[in-house]
């Protein structure tokens, strides 16, 4: 499988960084404080901002309360980097994009402080183009973040390939009119253009007309 593009857009959690343990600890703490069974929320918390998840799961909750809880959980997660490691193949993949001069951007539902803490914990450099929670008015699955990244890189949405692991992110990328590489065990059943188990399966090569070719190997 080969995909051609002019830019690559990268989700963070679950795509470049394995932060599942930190996310689960924050949401389990929230659940305990609010008398909610963690098992009822944990399957739904990946890929979007916390206030958007709360609005989806508990539509009767006031927006102000969701936003306040979102802010508290961001602090908890930023302070908790225990066990955070890069996804297999992520360091080499980012280096290949950088060394190949491929335009690329980080597009995450985390805010700047949290994304920096996690990328630093995983030993990964943040690309110059960096779209975070502060950059957008709507969380994934809204396509705003990916469209902003494409505009910042000066590339048409149809010429971007997105790397994502979560349902909300894959739906956002598809809504933006972009091809999607689903990364990891959660992604294969979510309708990406192609799925890989890890980023070790992706090769970066020069593409036609100055673009990039992404080769998916087994």
What positions carry a catalytic annotation? 11, 13
Q: Given the DSSP bridges, would you call strands 85-86 and 17-18 parallel, antiparallel or unpaired?
A: antiparallel
Rg, C-alpha atoms of the chain: 17
Neighbours of 92 (CB within 10 A): 15
């Amino acid at each position: 499988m080969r995909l051609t593009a002019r830019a690559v857009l990268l989700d963070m959690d679950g795509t470049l960084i394995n932060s599942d343990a930190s996310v689960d600890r924050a949401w389990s703490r929230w659940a305990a404080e609010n008398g909610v069974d963690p098992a009822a929320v944990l399957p739904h918390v990946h890929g979007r901002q916390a206030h958007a998840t709360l609005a989806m799961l508990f539509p009767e909750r006031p927006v102000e309360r969701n936003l306040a809880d979102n802010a508290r959980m961001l602090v908890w997660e930023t302070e908790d980097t225990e066990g955070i490691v890069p996804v297999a193949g992520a360091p080499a993949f980012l280096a290949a994009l950088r060394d190949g001069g491929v335009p690329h951007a980080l597009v995450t539902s985390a805010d700047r402080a949290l994304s920096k803490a996690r990328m630093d914990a995983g030993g990964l450099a943040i690309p110059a183009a960096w779209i975070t929670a502060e950059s957008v008015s709507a969380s994934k699955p809204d396509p705003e973040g990916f469209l902003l990244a494409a505009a910042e890189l000066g590339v048409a949405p149809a010429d971007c390939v997105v790397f994502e692991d979560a349902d909300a992110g894959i739906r956002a990328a598809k809504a933006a009119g972009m091809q999607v590489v689903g990364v990891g065990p959660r992604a294969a059943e979510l309708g990406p253009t192609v799925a890989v188990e890890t980023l070790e399966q992706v090769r970066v090569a020069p593409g036609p007309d100055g673009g990039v070719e992404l080769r998916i190997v087994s």
